[in-house]
Structure 1
Amino acid sequence: MKQHKKTVLLVINCLQGGGAERVVLTLGQGFYELGYEVHILRFKPLVQYDLSPNFNYHVLKFKPYKLIPGAQRRDQIFARAVDKYVSKNIGQPDIILSNLDRADSILSNSKLPNITYIIHNTVSLLYKFNKNHDAEQLKQRMIDIYAKHPCVCVSEGAQKDFVKSFGHITPTTAIHNPIDKNSIQQQADAFVPDYQNYIIHVGSFKDAKRHDVLVNAYAKTDQSMLLLLLGQGKHKSETERLVTELSLEDKVIFLGFRDNPFPYIKNAQFKILTSDWEGFALVIAEALVLGTPVISTNCPSGPSELLPERNLMPMGDVDAIAAKMQQAMSNPQAFRAPFDEALLPAKIAEKYVEFTQNL
């Protein structure tokens, strides 16, 4: 008799170019390597990544449901549609992993068993709990969602922050994001960039990434290396204005979004991260795979779990960041660090299996 193949379902709003979206695809690969049948369900057709032929893809559009008045009622009705769709087209998955707030909110209304949330961020910083007038209301809404199912946080810092923000409302654990070493190394050889002797920053132009701090710190160095900024987002135009104000147009290069950033990372003298918060800091682990030195702000979760202390800088401190950048420009190899093989996809997927089985 043929043994029933175990199934995992990963749920996310869309597969647009973000870190969590890439994690979903890499984690899917890990489960595939463990022999699972992998299903990915999204609520918007949008895709910016190459999709592996090893998975089954599903789209159940949320858009028609937007006409239903009341956010909670809308999510409840859509959750019923999700349950029906999954039961009919996938069966009963052994593990369901929900990613990011849209999916989390919907699956908090689901009647399907075996649901676990993946917490990709440091929630108190992402949602600005200390600066937000509606923080208590928002917190309560989030507690209602996250108390429903167990949570996997993508770093120890993110787990501590989750428990500090919400209390022990549900079982939690920390499991780092998976890194597909072979795929990254292959993609890194796709081409050689037109630039040489440069520093690379990869990340969306959004609040967390602090491009303003990065550019101001770079202005205080001798600028003996170019600074390449890879990404897109809401703060891009103000970063461009800052570059112009500081007369750095010849030194700072805006590359836009690239679906394959790895050749730029591989050929950089070093990679820099100036974030005020991260969930896990995927880009650090990816740089380590390619042997690229990294310096990063010591934000509350992620970097200190991946890098030695000498590679870390205080957040928001333009002078200290400028000094560390100058050191790295003089001797990039001093900031090399090893890649931890425990981050390979199948090993990370095994940790998910272990956590969900022991609940």
Structure 2
Amino acid sequence: MKKNLLFVIDSLNCAGAEKSLVTLLSLLDYSKYTVDLMLFGHGGELEELVPKEVNILKPLKYTEFAALSMKQAITYSVSHINFKMFSSRMKYSLGIRKKKFSNPQKARIFWQSVSNVIENNPKAYDIAISYAQGIPTFYVADKVEARKKYAWVNTSFRLEGQEKLFQKKIYDQYDKIVAVSESAREILLETFPYYSNKINVIFDINNPDSIYKMASIGDSYEDQYKGMRILTIGRLAKGKGYDIALEACKKLKERGLKFKWYALGKGPLKKEIEEYIKVNDLSEHFILLGVKSNPYPYIKNADLYVQTSRFEGFGLAIAEARMLNIPVVTTRFDAVYNQMVDGKNGLVVDMSSDAVCDGILKMISDHELRDSVIEYLHSEKKGNVEEIDKVYQLIG
């Protein structure tokens, strides 16, 4: 008899955890499992890549309500003579206006504000998996009936005070927690040392065959530029270090390097980044490409991949660049040495614009280093589809 599985994630926008989940789903044996997938945000670029065997559940009622304009929300509430969802929405909106909050704080405030109007999942599952920390984790803990519950942690984050107390009550409801790297596990244990026997490590799964295939199809750079192409992939958010990237870009320009630096991603810092580009006259050097459902032709046709993250659970885009034999320059975030060998498959530098600038110049100008890095990349083991065996051991 097939096991019933539920996966829950925020959305399937083009980002690391989302790509990892799609890859995992593409490798599952559907003769053994029936799979439901719940999203808090629909319409993401990767939804078209979800295997046909996966049942994407309808949006939650509150998710649809939250997408309404304020006028539409009031009309809906009046016509249904029910202001509970409107009240919860306003409570959350007002709750996050007071000051700047971290992502864990925003997730807690959201759940404390709206969980009372989010319906329980009507189905009982053998296994329910939250594939991202925060709201998916809260939902599986509080709104899903399952024989076993597993929580994926795909970033490095530390909690203290109110956040630690709140999330302990959540994670106490899980049978297992999965960290996507050894460093992510170690950092999680700094917050929750009593979970040492509860945390497994399963790396984000990379399937080189699918990446090679997708890198050969679809769109790539549309300009006719023939010079050095630098690429960065990541959400336009503080954690990805775009301020470091922009400052490094400015310094590269000042030092006379001929290049274009492209960024794939979207996020809350878009306007701020665009303003920096305008003020510093970098429109010909730092180009925002938005989000692409297939980023692999862009990676394949880049000369250098640069990651300026402050933290990563694993660093999936780096792994993808390595699989396509593109030299990497990356900042020294916690999980970086899970896959980087400094001086061999790229350069690991300090988390500063000067260090990133110097690393890029070194990788470009030192031809002997660059050639040796490319040779090493070609000889590296590609992908880690064998990680699916750890998933099978977990879900049975």
TM class, shorter-length: 0.7 to 0.9
Structure 2, unaligned stretches of length 5 or more?
Answer: 66-83, 92-110
Higher relative contact order (CA 8 A, sep 6+): 1
Change (3 A) 1:270 1:53: same
Residue of structure 2 equivalent to 1:188: 215
Residue of structure 1 equivalent to 2:278: 244
Residue of structure 2 equivalent to 1:261: 295
RMSD: 2.5
Structure 1, unaligned stretches of length 5 or more?
Answer: 130-134
Residue of structure 2 equivalent to 1:211: 242
Residue of structure 1 equivalent to 2:390: 351
Q: Does 1:155 find its partner at 2:190?
A: no
Residue of structure 2 equivalent to 1:42: 39
Taking the aligned partners of 2:271 and 2:41, their CA distance within structure 1 comes to 27
Aligned AA (1:138)? E
Q: 2:341 aligns with which of 308, 315, 321?
A: 308
Q: Does 1:31 find its partner at 2:12?
A: no
**Contact in 2 for aligned 1:75/1:105 (Cα 8 Å):** no
Change (3 A) 1:21 1:66: farther
Shift of 1:247: 2.8
Residue of structure 2 equivalent to 1:137: 162
Give 1:1-359 correspondences, 5 Å limit.
4-32=1-29, 35-49=32-46, 50=48, 51-63=50-62, 66-67=85-86, 71-72=111-112, 75=115, 78=118, 81-82=120-121, 84=122, 86-87=123-124, 92-93=125-126, 95-100=127-132, 101-109=134-142, 110-124=144-158, 129=159, 135-149=160-174, 150-169=176-195, 171-190=198-217, 191-194=219-222, 195-196=225-226, 197-221=228-252, 222-301=256-335, 303-310=336-343, 311-330=346-365, 331=367, 332-336=370-374, 337=377, 340-341=381-382, 343-344=384-385, 347-356=386-395
Taking the aligned partners of 2:31 and 2:232, their CA distance within structure 1 comes to 34
Taking the aligned partners of 2:39 and 2:250, their CA distance within structure 1 comes to 42
Shift of 1:7: 4.0
**Contact in 2 for aligned 1:229/1:252 (Cα 8 Å):** yes
**Contact in 2 for aligned 1:11/1:98 (Cα 8 Å):** yes
Q: Deviations over 1:35-59 (max 9, x none)?
A: 5333322244333222332322222
Shift of 1:77: 6.8
Q: Deviations over 1:51-73 (max 9, x none)?
A: 33232222241516845759459
Taking the aligned partners of 1:13 and 1:230, their CA distance within structure 2 comes to 19
Aligned AA (2:13)? Q
Shift of 1:278: 0.7
Provide the secondary structure at the position in 2 that maps to 1:248. Answer: coil
Aligned AA (1:219)? K
Provide the secondary structure at the position in 1 that maps to 2:268. Answer: coil
Question: Whose Rg is larger?
Answer: 2
Q: Deviations over 1:220-278 (max 9, x none)?
A: 23422211112121222222232333332222222112221111100101100011001
The 10-residue stretch of structure 1 (19-28 or 189-198) with the greater mean CA deviation from structure 2: 189-198
Change (3 A) 1:158 1:236: same
**Contact in 2 for aligned 1:45/1:59 (Cα 8 Å):** no
- TM-score, length-scaled by structure 1: 0.84
Taking the aligned partners of 2:249 and 2:241, their CA distance within structure 1 comes to 13
